Structure 1
Amino acid sequence: MENLALVTGGAKSGKSRFAEGLVRAMGAQPIYIATAEALDEEMSHRIAAHLLQRGPGWHTVEEPLDLCGALQRTDGRGPRLVDCLTLWLSNLMMQDLDIDAALADLSQTLKAQTSPVVMVTNEVGSGIVPDNALARAYRDSCGAMNQRIGAVVDRIDLVVCGHPLRVK
């Protein structure tokens, strides 16, 4: 059984829907660990759309910063879906927290999980080079995070145009 999975792809590629299907197929009541915060009306609408897409039967844990704590508190209670790592990373950056330490903690926490974890992340490095330092730092941090978490997981899927491609 693959306990740790990473689902990546571009914006609106279908990665969340695919990841939800992986978690639902695991049988037990799924747990959704949400890293997004409804800081404006547009994000509130996005969150509502994700809730509607998931449908009933999910237990939701909202955790924008302490992802390791959320994983530890929910371990043993069923399969978890973390959506998404790139929002979590931006939350850390906006709070000026130590990204490298957070990624080291996440890697160790994932290795200790007994219940499955499926994580969604964005592939942000395939586009043009951003025109400002903050956006470039974010893109670079996303790439480093995805590589680091990709080394820990059992499975990686790239979703393109709604279709998954198994990478690992």
Structure 2
Amino acid sequence: MLDKLTLVLGGAGSGKSLWAETLVRNAGKDRIYLATARVWDDEMRQKVNHHIAQRGPGWTTIEAPLDVTSALAQARPDQVVLLDCATMWLSNHLLDETDLATEEARFLTALSTCTAPVVVVSNEVGLSVVPDNALARRFRDAQGALNQKLAAQAGLVVAVMAGLPLTLKGTLP
């Protein structure tokens, strides 16, 4: 049985999304895919199409690049939500220059009140180099802080590297 909140962390290309999809697929509930990416160019469209093909059938997709709270509020206990990913959600808010503290608080509250189990995918950015510009450093710091808050709230936290899970907190189902 899945925890109320599971956080799956990993670097870009680490296999975290595929691992999270498998975890959700094995939960035996109706699957909701909460997509946060915005498609700005052909390369991003290819990445989204790859993720759709990788997931396969049996998923209800809700596109929510900014407002994940509404989708989480509508989730039912007989469903499981895969939010992929917190990194894109955060990037969208930074680029739109929204009130990040308010949106983050709304997001964390929505996760705690959601009646369905939620698996959140997020990038681990703390293992990379120090960015060379202010926006990138702001993003790195905000992503690190958000990941720490998500990890504190989650019952299960898993780091994925080279497609392999390493449990950091909790117990795998």
TM-score range, shorter chain: over 0.9
Q: CA deviation at 1:147?
A: 0.6
Pairing 1:82–2:68 present: no
- What is residue 105 of structure 1 aligned with on the other side? 106
CA-atom RMSD, angstroms?
A: 1.0
Aligned-pair identity (%): 47
Normalising by structure 1, what TM-score?
0.97
Q: Deviations over 1:53-77 (max 9, x none)?
A: 0001111000100011111122345
Equivalent position amino acid for 1:54 in 2:
R
The aligned amino acid for 1:38 is V
Counting matched residue pairs gives 168
Q: 1:89-168 counterparts in 2 under 5 A?
A: 89-168=90-169
Letter in 2 for 1:160: M
Unpaired segments ≥5 residues, structure 1? none
Match of 1:68 in 2: 69
Length-normalised TM-score, structure 2: 0.94
Q: Is the 8 A contact 2:9 2:160 kept in 1?
A: yes
Task: Name the SS of the counterpart of 1:167 in structure 2.
Answer: strand
The alpha carbon displacement at 1:33 in A equals 0.3
- In 1: Cα distance, 2:63 partner to 2:4 partner: 22
Unaligned runs of 5+ in 2: none
Deviation at 1:37, TM superposition (A): 1.3
1:8 counterpart residue number = 9
How far does the alpha carbon of each residue in 1:128-158 deviate from its partner, in whole angstroms, 9 at most, with x for none?
1000001000000000000111111111000
Alpha-carbon shift at residue 111 of structure 1 (Å):
1.1
